[in-house]
C-alpha cells in the first residue's frame, strides 16, 4: 500500500531489531505503525522525540479496546505529551466497528475542550447467527467411553467437525485458552487434521505459521481466543463458530464480523451452547446485536498508578515542570479531566518519597538513572503473571498449570481446588521452582475451580434480560422466534423442572436456596453485582459466626459456603434487611482484607515504583505492604481498580433498592435432599458432580507408592573400604547387602547425584579431619549403613522415599505395628510432611 501511494510506512514494536530502530531514528518514515507502549518509549528518545514534533495525524485502530483498559488511560496522557512536542493540535482518528457509546469513546480520544465529529458507516452488513446445541447419539456415547470424555463433549466436538467440513474456512472462537486446547485435542481424536490452535500463550512464530496456513487454504479451521478477534489479516473467512456464550454483545459482533468481511457482505455463524443458561444468554446477545445495543464502555478514570508513571515520563521528556503545569497537561486527557490539585500532590509526594523525583523551588525533575529505569521497566501496565506447574504428589506426574495469582491467593497447605475435573488438596508450594505439589481429594463443597481466570463479566442488563426471558418462556413457552425449537425446548424443560421444586428466579424474583452447607442466592444481576453482594453477605455472616464464609459467583447466582448447614430462610431475611448504604459500608470496610486486594495492591506498588519489577509475589509480604501503605495512593488506586473491574457497587445498590420497594420479590426454599436445576451450574463449579472422577482409593494409592519406590534407584557405597560405589534398583536389593570388594555389610544408601559422599568416605578412611558439614554427611551415611545392616531391603525401600533420611527411616521401621500396607502409608505421611515443611528448613 505504501509503495502505491508513495508513502514510506514502517513498523515499530517490542520485537523490532536495534538496527531497524537505528535506521528509523536517522531516517523516519512518513507513517509509523506502533503500539501505545512503544510510543511511550520514543516520546523520551533523544532523536525520535525530535521527529515526533512533525506528527499531524494519529490513528488509533480498535479504539474501543484501548478505551476500556489502563493501556488506554496511559495512551490518553501520551497524546497530550505528544502535543507538547508538536506545539499544534494534530488530528486524532479512532476506528472501530463495535462501539457501545460512540460519543463517549470520541471524547476519550479527543480529550477535553476539543471539537469531535462521528462518522457512521452507511454499509449495511447482514448478520446470520443462530444458537445451537447437541444431543449425544449412541455413536457419541460409544466414542466418549473410549476417549474417557462425557458424551455431550464428544457430540459438540463432532458438531464442530461437521461445520468445519461444511465450509471452506472457519474460525472457532473460545473464551479461554484451555477450551481452545481441549477442543483441538478432541477434534484430533475424532480424526480432524486440518485445524490448529491460535492464542496468546503460543509463540509468535507458531501463531504466524497458523495464520499463513489458514490464509493459504491449507487449514480449514483455526481454534482461537481473542487473539484473532481484532485486526489480524487471515484472508477470507466464511463461517464463525463461537463455543459457548461470548458473554458480551460487543465481543459477539466483533467475532461474527470476521466472516463475510467485505462491503455489503453477510456475517454468518453459530453459538454452540453447553447449558440452558448458555442458550438463553446467547439468544439475548444475538437479539441485542441485531438491534445494535452494545455494552456501555467502562473507562478507567483517575488511575493514580498510571498517573505516577506518566509524571515521570513528562519530566523525562520536558526535564522540569511545576505541579501546575503537570496538572494542566494531565487534565487535558479525558480520564483525568476531573483530577484535583490535592490528588496530584499526593502522587507527586509518593514519587518524592520513592526518590524518583527531586524538587527545585516550585519545579520538579526526574532523579536519573533511577527514574529512567523505573519508567522503562513499567511501560506496560499489564501484570507479568507466571505459571505454576501442578504435580500429582503420589504419581509424580504433571497435572497442569495454575496462574501465579491463583497460587498466591488460594494455594496454602491443605487448601482444595478443582483442576481437570478432579479435586486436589495442596501439600506444598515451591515458589522458587514454581511448583505446586498436590494429592487427590474427595469431592468438597469448599474446593474452588483452578481453571477460573479473568472471565469476561456478563453485565447487569444482559443478565436481567435473561431473567426476563425466563419469565416469558415459563409463562407462554414462546420467545418470538429468537430460538429454534430444540434449544427453546431444552431451556423450557429446565424451567419446568425448576418450577416443580421452587419458584423460577428472574429479573423480578430473587430466590434464596439452601442445599447442604451452601446457600445459593439466585439473582439475574450479572457477575460484578453478584460479586459485590456475595462479598457483603460473606462479611456479614463471617462476623456473626466467627468463621470465614467462602463464596462462589456467576452471572445468575452467588453461593455462600458455610462450615455447617444454615437456614435459607434466615439468609433470605438478612438479605432482605441489607440496605444500599449497608452494602457500601460493608464492602469499603472489608475489601482490603481480601486476598484479591493484596494481589492487586502488589501490582499497583510495582507500577508506582514502590516494589521492584523483578520482585516475586509472596502472599505474606504482600499483606504486610497493604498495612504499610494503608493511607497511600496505592491503597486508593487498588480500591478504584477493584470497584471498576470486579465489583459493581451501584448495580448492587440498585437491586437492593428494588427489593426494598417490592419491585423485585425475595423468596426462600430449603432443600429436600436435592438442589434445584438452576442451582446446578454453580454447585457444579463448587463440586463438579458430572466431571469429578472418584477420589483415589487408599488401596490404589498404596499400589502407586509401592510401584514408585520399588523402581527407584539408590546409590550404594561401602563405608568400610571406600572402594565400591554402585547403583541398584530397590526391587533388586538383597535382604543382606555386602560390598563385592571387601564383603563388609557397612553399605550406605544415598541419592544418585550425591557426588560429595565418596570423597568424604575416602577422607575419613585415610584419617583426614572432616569439616562440620562433612562430619554431618558422614554420620548420615553411617546411620544409613546401620539401617541396611539391620533391616535389609526394607531399609532401602524406606530411604528411597522423598525427604526420608536415616532418622525418619529409623522411626518408621521401629514403630511398625501393622503389615506392609501400613508401612507404605507411613512412608506416604512422611513424604507429605517433608513437602509441607521443607520451605521452612534452613
pLDDT in tens, 517-541: 889 999 999 999 999 999 999 989 9
Only one residue has cell 462521528, namely 118
Over residues 589-598, the mean pLDDT reads 86
Instruction: Tell me the per-residue pLDDT of 23-41, one tens digit each, with 9 for 90 and over.
Output: 988 899 999 999 999 999 9
Closest CA to 226 of 285, 272, 180, 160: 180
Strands 170-173 and 239-243, sheet pairing: parallel
pLDDT of residue 632 exceeding 70, the answer is yes
* C-alpha gyration radius of the chain: 31
**Using CA atoms, how far apart are residues 69 and 18, in angstroms rounded to an integer?**
29
Kindly report the CA angle at 794 between 788 and 800, in degrees rounded to 5? 85
Query: What percent of the chain stands above pLDDT 70?
Result: 91
Q: Give the pLDDT band (50/70/90) at residue 840.
A: very low
Over residues 816-825, the mean pLDDT reads 79
**What pLDDT, on the 0 to 100 scale, is given for residue 211?**
87
Higher pLDDT, 177 or 287: 287
Lowest-pLDDT choice from 91-100, 355-364, 507-516, 690-699? 690-699
Higher pLDDT, 350 or 620: 350
**Using CA atoms, how far apart are residues 58 and 63, in angstroms rounded to an integer?**
12
Higher pLDDT, 748 or 398: 748
**What pLDDT, on the 0 to 100 scale, is given for residue 162?**
93
Lowest-pLDDT choice from 13-17, 27-31, 310-314? 13-17
**What pLDDT, on the 0 to 100 scale, is given for residue 419?**
65
Strands 713-718 and 725-729, sheet pairing: antiparallel
**What pLDDT, on the 0 to 100 scale, is given for residue 617?**
79
pLDDT of residue 245 exceeding 90, the answer is yes
pLDDT of residue 696 exceeding 50, the answer is no
**What pLDDT, on the 0 to 100 scale, is given for residue 172?**
94
Instruction: Tell me the per-residue pLDDT of 473-509, one tens digit each, with 9 for 90 and over.
Output: 988 877 776 788 889 999 999 999 999 989 999 999 9
- Given a contact cutoff of 8 angstroms between Cβ atoms, the answer to whether 761 and 719 are in contact is yes
**Using CA atoms, how far apart are residues 479 and 466, in angstroms rounded to an integer?**
12
Burial string for 41-76 (b: 16+ CB within 10 Å, else e) reads bbbbeeebbebbeebeebebebbbbbbbbbbbbbbb
Query: What percent of the chain stands above pLDDT 90?
Result: 51
Q: Give the pLDDT band (50/70/90) at residue 357.
A: very high
| Residue 505 dihedral angles phi and psi, to the nearest 5° | -65, 140
**What pLDDT, on the 0 to 100 scale, is given for residue 697?**
43
The whole-chain average pLDDT of the chain stands at 86
Over residues 414-421, the mean pLDDT reads 67
User: How far apart, in Å, are the Cα atoms of 506 and each of 10, 182, 290, 463, 593?
Assistant: 54, 33, 23, 9, 33
Instruction: Tell me the per-residue pLDDT of 91-105, one tens digit each, with 9 for 90 and over.
Output: 999 998 888 889 999
Over residues 610-633, the mean pLDDT reads 87
pLDDT of residue 436 exceeding 50, the answer is yes
C-alpha cell at 655: 437491586
pLDDT of residue 400 exceeding 80, the answer is no
C-alpha cell at 720: 568400610
Over residues 821-841, the mean pLDDT reads 71
Lowest-pLDDT choice from 363-377, 423-437, 783-797? 423-437
Amino acid at each position: 500500500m505504501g509503495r502505491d501511494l508513495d508513502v514510506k510506512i514502517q513498523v515499530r514494536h517490542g520485537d523490532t531489531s536495534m538496527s531497524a530502530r537505528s535506521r528509523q531514528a536517522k531516517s523516519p518514515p512518513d507513517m509509523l505503525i506502533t503500539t501505545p507502549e512503544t510510543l511511550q518509549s520514543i516520546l523520551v528518545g533523544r532523536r525520535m522525540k525530535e521527529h515526533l514534533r512533525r506528527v499531524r495525524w494519529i490513528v488509533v485502530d480498535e479504539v474501543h479496546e484501548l478505551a476500556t483498559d489502563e493501556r488506554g488511560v496511559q495512551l490518553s496522557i501520551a497524546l497530550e505529551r505528544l502535543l507538547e512536542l508538536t506545539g499544534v493540535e494534530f488530528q486524532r482518528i479512532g476506528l472501530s466497528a463495535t462501539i457501545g457509546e460512540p460519543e463517549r469513546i470520541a471524547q476519550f480520544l479527543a480529550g477535553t475542550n476539543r471539537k469531535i465529529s462521528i462518522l457512521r458507516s452507511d454499509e449495511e452488513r447482514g448478520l446470520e447467527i443462530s444458537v445451537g446445541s447437541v444431543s449425544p447419539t449412541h455413536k457419541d456415547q460409544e466414542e466418549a467411553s473410549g476417549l474417557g470424555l462425557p458424551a455431550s463433549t464428544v457430540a459438540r466436538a463432532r458438531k464442530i467437525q461437521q461445520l468445519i467440513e461444511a465450509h471452506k474456512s472457519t474460525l472457532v472462537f473460545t473464551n479461554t485458552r484451555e477450551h481452545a486446547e481441549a477442543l483441538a485435542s478432541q477434534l484430533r481424536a475424532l480424526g480432524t487434521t486440518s485445524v490448529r490452535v491460535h492464542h496468546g500463550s503460543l509463540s509468535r512464530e507458531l501463531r504466524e505459521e497458523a495464520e499463513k496456513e489458514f490464509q493459504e487454504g491449507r487449514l480449514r479451521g483455526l481454534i482461537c481466543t481473542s487473539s484473532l478477534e481484532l485486526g489480524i489479516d487471515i484472508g477470507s473467512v466464511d463461517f464463525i463458530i463461537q463455543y459457548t456464550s461470548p458473554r458480551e454483545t460487543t465481543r459477539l459482533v466483533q467475532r461474527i464480523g470476521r466472516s463475510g468481511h467485505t462491503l455489503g457482505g453477510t456475517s454468518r455463524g453459530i453459538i454452540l451452547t453447553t447449558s440452558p443458561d448458555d442458550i438463553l444468554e446467547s439468544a439475548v446477545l444475538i437479539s441485542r446485536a441485531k438491534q445494535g445495543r452494545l455494552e456501555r464502555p467502562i473507562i478507567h478514570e483517575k488511575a493514580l498508578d498510571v498517573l505516577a508513571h506518566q509524571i515521570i515520563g513528562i519530566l523525562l521528556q520536558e526535564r522540569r515542570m511545576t505541579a501546575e503545569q503537570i496538572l494542566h497537561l494531565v487534565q487535558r486527557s479525558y480520564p483525568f479531566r476531573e483530577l484535583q490539585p490535592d490528588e496530584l500532590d499526593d502522587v507527586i509526594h509518593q514519587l518524592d518519597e520513592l526518590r524518583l523525583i527531586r524538587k527545585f523551588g516550585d519545579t520538579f525533575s526526574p532523579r536519573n538513572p533511577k527514574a529512567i529505569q523505573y519508567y522503562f521497566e513499567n511501560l506496560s501496565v499489564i501484570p507479568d503473571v507466571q505459571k505454576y506447574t501442578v504435580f500429582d504428589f503420589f504419581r509424580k506426574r504433571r497435572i497442569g498449570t495454575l496462574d501465579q495469582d491463583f497460587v498466591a491467593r488460594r494455594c496454602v497447605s491443605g487448601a482444595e481446588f478443582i483442576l481437570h475435573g478432579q479435586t486436589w488438596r495442596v501439600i506444598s508450594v515451591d515458589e522458587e521452582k514454581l511448583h505446586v505439589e498436590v494429592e487427590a481429594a474427595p469431592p468438597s463443597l469448599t474446593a474452588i475451580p483452578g481453571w477460573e481466570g479473568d472471565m469476561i463479566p456478563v453485565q447487569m442488563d444482559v443478565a436481567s434480560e435473561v431473567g426476563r426471558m425466563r419469565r416469558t418462556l415459563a409463562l407462554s413457552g414462546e420467545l418470538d422466534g429468537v430460538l429454534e425449537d430444540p434449544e427453546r425446548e431444552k431451556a423450557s424443560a429446565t424451567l419446568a423442572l425448576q418450577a416443580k421444586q421452587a419458584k423460577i428466579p428472574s429479573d423480578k424474583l430473587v430466590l434464596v436456596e439452601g442445599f447442604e452447607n451452601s446457600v445459593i442466592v439466585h439473582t439475574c444481576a450479572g457477575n460484578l453485582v453478584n460479586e459485590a453482594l456475595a462479598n457483603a453477605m460473606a462479611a456479614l455472616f463471617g462476623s456473626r459466626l466467627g468463621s470465614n464464609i467462602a463464596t462462589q459467583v456467576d452471572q445468575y447466582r452467588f453461593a455462600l459456603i458455610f462450615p455447617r448447614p444454615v437456614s435459607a430462610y434466615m439468609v433470605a431475611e438478612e438479605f432482605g434487611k441489607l440496605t444500599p448504604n449497608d452494602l457500601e459500608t460493608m464492602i469499603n470496610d472489608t475489601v482490603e482484607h481480601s486476598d484479591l486486594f493484596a494481589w492487586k495492591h502488589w501490582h499497583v506498588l510495582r507500577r508506582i515504583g514502590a516494589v521492584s519489577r523483578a520482585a516475586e509475589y509472596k502472599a505474606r509480604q504482600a499483606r504486610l505492604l497493604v498495612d504499610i501503605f494503608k493511607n497511600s495512593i496505592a491503597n486508593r488506586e487498588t480500591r478504584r481498580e477493584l470497584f471498576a473491574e470486579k465489583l459493581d457497587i451501584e448495580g448492587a445498590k440498585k437491586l437492593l433498592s428494588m427489593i426494598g420497594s417490592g419491585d423485585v420479590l425475595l423468596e426462600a426454599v430449603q432443600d429436600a435432599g436435592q438442589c434445584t436445576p438452576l442451582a446446578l451450574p454453580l454447585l457444579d463449579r463448587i463440586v463438579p458432580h458430572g466431571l469429578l472422577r472418584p477420589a483415589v482409593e487408599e488401596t490404589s494409592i498404596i499400589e502407586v507408592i509401592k510401584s514408585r519406590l520399588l523402581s527407584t534407584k539408590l546409590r550404594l557405597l561401602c563405608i568400610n573400604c571406600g572402594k565400591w560405589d554402585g547403583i541398584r534398583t530397590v526391587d533388586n536389593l538383597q535382604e543382606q547387602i555386602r560390598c563385592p570388594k571387601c564383603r563388609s555389610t557397612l553399605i550406605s544408601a544415598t541419592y544418585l547425584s550425591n557426588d560429595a559422599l565418596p570423597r568424604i568416605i575416602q577422607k575419613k578412611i585415610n584419617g583426614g579431619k572432616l569439616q562440620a558439614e562433612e562430619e554431618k554427611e558422614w554420620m548420615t551415611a553411617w546411620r544409613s549403613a546401620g539401617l541396611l545392616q539391620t533391616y535389609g531391603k526394607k531399609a532401602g525401600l524406606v530411604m528411597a522415599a522423598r525427604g526420608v533420611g536415616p532418622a525418619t527411616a529409623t522411626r518408621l521401621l521401629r514403630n511398625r505395628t501393622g503389615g506392609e500396607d501400613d508401612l507404605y502409608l507411613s512412608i506416604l505421611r512422611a513424604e507429605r510432611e517433608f513437602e509441607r515443611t521443607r520451605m521452612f528448613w534452613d
